[in-house]
Structures are given as C-alpha cells and as structure tokens.
C-alpha cells in the first residue's frame, strides 16, 4: 500500500500539533536555590578623609549613563554612551581606564554597526552600558533598539579577556518570548555562590517595572523574576546583605511626585517583595546603591526638584532609615544636569563615583568613608 504524502501529512498533523503545544508549555527543571556571595564582615575604615574629582575625556557632543568596574590589575574602568544626542544613530559605547597618569584616551567598543554584525539584527540605536569584571573576564551588557523607542529594547552582551582592548562579537540575551523586546539594563550584577550572576534589569513596554535575571556561570538565563510594585519603577540597584537577603532601590517612574522605591528578597532573588518608599524624593531619575566596608549603605541620586544636583545618603540599618551625607555637585543655572550615578567600591576601600555632567561629558570622583562622615581632605 502506498500512502500519498498529503495523506501522511494529514495523519501526522494532530500529533505534531500536540507535541508542539506541549513544547511551548514545557519548562526546564527548577534550578537549585540561589545564594548571594555574602559581603565581607563589616570593618571600620582607616582611610583618611579624601575627595578628588576629574573629567573623563570628551568623546562627543553628548554623553550619558556611565558604568564602573575594577580590573584584576587594580585599574578602574569606565564605559558610557556618547554621540550627537541620546538615541542618535552615531551613538557608541565608549571605554576608558584610569592609570597613574589619569584617564586614558577612550575607545569605542560597540555601536550600531558592530551590534548588528554580531547579532544579525537591525539596530537603530544603543545605550546604557554596564561593565563587570569577573576574574579574567570583563563583561559588557548594553541596551540595543531595533524598532521604536527604549521600550523596544533588548540587551546585548560582549566579553573581553584582555582588559578591554578587544571584545567578542555581541550576542543578544533572550529575555522575552514576545519578540525579545523591552528588557533594559542599567546597574551592575551581583555574584552568586554557584558562579553565576544576578543581573538587575527593567521593563518599559506598556508597564514599567524592575526585573531580576539569574545567569548561570556560563551566561545563560536560568530564571527571570519580576520586582512587583504598586508604582511604576525602573532601573533597580541591588546590594546583598548576606547570603540570602538583598535590597533594591528603584527609580520612581510616576505619576506625580516620586520617591525612591524599595524591594527586598529573603531568598537571594528567587522572589522579591515591594517595600515602603524611602522619604527621599526621586524626580524620575536613576539611583545608585553600594554597601560600604563599614556595612553601611550608600545611596546616590537627585533631589526632589530635578537633576541639577547630585546628593549622597547613608544608612546604618540596612536601608531602613537614611541620613543626608554630602552634596557632590550642584548648580542653579537652567541647563544643569548631574545624573545617572554609578558607584563602585575599590578593593582598597576607596569609593568611586561616575555621573553624567550636564549631558556633555562624564565626571569621576573618588572619596573615602571618612569624607562621607564630614571629614575634610
């Protein structure tokens, strides 16, 4: 008996449909419970009061969204995006390192063309880089948009094994089954005990909320969890308090008067619970968070009325209450903007800060806990 191909196809269609439907709803086995790499025990800092600031070399008319990390040899590295304006086709991700003679000449490490070539996808614009050094690996995550505005974003990832001199071709993180759009990155990841990373990200399409990506030691996405909140929130900045507990501070995306929003986890990012807003105003602007050697938390952000000042706050009770510490920079002219802070704790205990300076360049500062407490350099 000869079975005609069209009949065979009709016979096979129902079981094939069932198999495809089952595959669509199949989920990978639940991974083992995560754990943070716990922070070191709190110690009193012995560094004297110190504050120093400098400008990073200018690379274009407009610059924004810096990120910092420390390389294995001790150098501080920075990445940011710059071009004629935010979202323009000529925007590139720039990279520079701080040596004994100051910041080295920046080099572009990603742009529309290189991203399109690596991901085999159309790219309209790039933005928001995040650097993270892990052993001999230097990671770069950054935002890439194919269509529409920032709500249509995806995250690209590239790596360097020579301190940022050369980079691998970028690849896209598959964070969403729906066209893989509207996942953005802004703040650095936290190391996990299994060798993986917890990467705070956020979503902007229709709703706005923070998310948590759990990455395996080889970079695959193991889990994605939403930081559910009653308010629209963006750009979570996260610190670990111990192996299981962590806190997130989030940008308030409105409506109305915003305040720094909070979330916490008691199981290393497996789930998150919204907390009460801090009594610290937030004018819909990015904040940065850091755990200091003393165990206190440091928060950087803008005041209630806008981005014309950059302020620092300290918490000695794991983020429950906060005290104003220092004003890093302020100006009363109409076009001033000091925003999008990035914080990094150096291995020697010094604190490093980078931020957008008037949308023209990136400014860098380094200081000690003694300076935060009012000491004079």
Q: Mind listing the pLDDT tens digit for each residue in 334-353?
A: 779 999 999 999 999 999 99
Q: Residue 6: pLDDT above 70?
A: no
Q: Are 346 and 292 in contact (CB under 8 A)?
A: no
Compute CA distances 246 → 55, 61, 228, whole Å: 33, 38, 15
Query: Could you tell me how far CA 105 lies from the centroid of its own chain?
Result: 24
**CB burial readout 287-301, b (16+ within 10 A) else e:** bbbbbbbbbbbbbbb
* pLDDT bracket for residue 181 (50, 70, 90): confident
Biggest alpha carbon distance in the chain? 95
- Assigned token pair, 292: 């200091």
Average pLDDT of every residue of the chain: 92
pLDDT for position 291: 98
pLDDT for position 78: 98
Topology of domain 51-372 in CATH is Neuraminidase (2.120.10)
Instruction: Say what the pTM is.
Output: 0.91
* pLDDT bracket for residue 10 (50, 70, 90): low
CA 329, 82, 232, 172 torsion-angle sign? negative
Share of the chain above pLDDT 70, in %: 92
Residue 295 CB partners (closer than 8 Å, separation 6+): 39, 42, 316
pLDDT for position 334: 76
* Mean pLDDT, residues 287-297: 98
* Mean pLDDT, residues 125-153: 95
Residue spans of the domains in the chain: they are 51-372
Q: What CA–CA distance (Å, rounded) separates 111 from 117?
A: 10
Task: Say what the alpha-carbon torsion angle 351, 354, 357, 363 is, to the nearest 10 degrees.
Answer: 80
Q: Residue 198: pLDDT above 90?
A: yes
pLDDT for position 283: 96
- Poorest-confidence range of 22-36, 80-94, 205-219? 22-36
Q: Are 139 and 132 in contact (CB under 8 A)?
A: yes
Q: What is the pLDDT of residues 249-264, one digit of tens each?
A: 999 999 989 999 999 9
pLDDT for position 29: 58
């Amino acid at each position: 008996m000869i079975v005609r191909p069209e009949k065979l196809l009709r016979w096979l269609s129902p079981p094939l449909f069932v198999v495809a439907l089952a595959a669509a709803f199949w989920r990978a086995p639940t991974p083992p419970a995560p754990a943070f790499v716990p922070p070191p025990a709190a110690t009193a800092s012995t560094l004297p009061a110190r504050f120093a600031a400098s400008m990073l070399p200018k690379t274009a008319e407009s610059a924004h969204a810096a990120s910092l990390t420390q390389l294995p040899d001790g150098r501080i590295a920075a990445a940011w995006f710059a071009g004629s304006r935010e979202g323009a086709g000529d925007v590139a991700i720039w990279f520079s390192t701080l040596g004994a003679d100051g910041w080295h000449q920046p080099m572009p490490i990603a742009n529309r063309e290189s991203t399109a070539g690596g991901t085999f996808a159309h790219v309209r614009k790039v933005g928001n880089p995040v650097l993270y050094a892990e052993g001999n690996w230097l990671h770069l995550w950054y935002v890439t948009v194919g269509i529409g505005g920032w709500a249509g974003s995806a995250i690209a990832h590239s790596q360097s094994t020579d301190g940022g001199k050369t980079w691998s071709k970028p690849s896209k993180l598959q964070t969403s089954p729906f066209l893989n759009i509207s996942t953005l990155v802004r703040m650095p990841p936290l190391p996990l005990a299994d060798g993986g990373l917890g990467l705070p990200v956020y979503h902007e399409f229709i709703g706005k909320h923070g998310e948590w990506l759990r990455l395996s030691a080889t970079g695959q996405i193991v889990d994605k969890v939403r930081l559910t909140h009653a308010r629209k929130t963006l750009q979570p900045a996260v610190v670990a308090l111990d192996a299981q507990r962590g806190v997130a501070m989030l940008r308030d995306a409105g409506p109305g008067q915003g305040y720094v929003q909070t979330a916490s986890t008691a199981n290393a990012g497996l789930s998150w619970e919204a907390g009460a807003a801090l009594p610290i105003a937030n004018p819909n602007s990015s904040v940065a968070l850091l755990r200091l050697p003393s165990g206190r938390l440091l928060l950087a952000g803008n005041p209630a009325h806008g981005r014309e000042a950059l302020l620092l706050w300290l918490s000695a009770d794991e983020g429950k209450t906060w005290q104003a510490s220092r004003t890093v920079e302020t100006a009363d002219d109409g076009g001033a903007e000091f925003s999008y802070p990035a914080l990094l704790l150096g291995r020697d205990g010094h604190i490093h800060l980078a931020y957008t300076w008037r949308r023209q360049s990136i400014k860098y500062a380094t200081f000690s806990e003694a300076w935060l407490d009012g000491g004079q350099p």
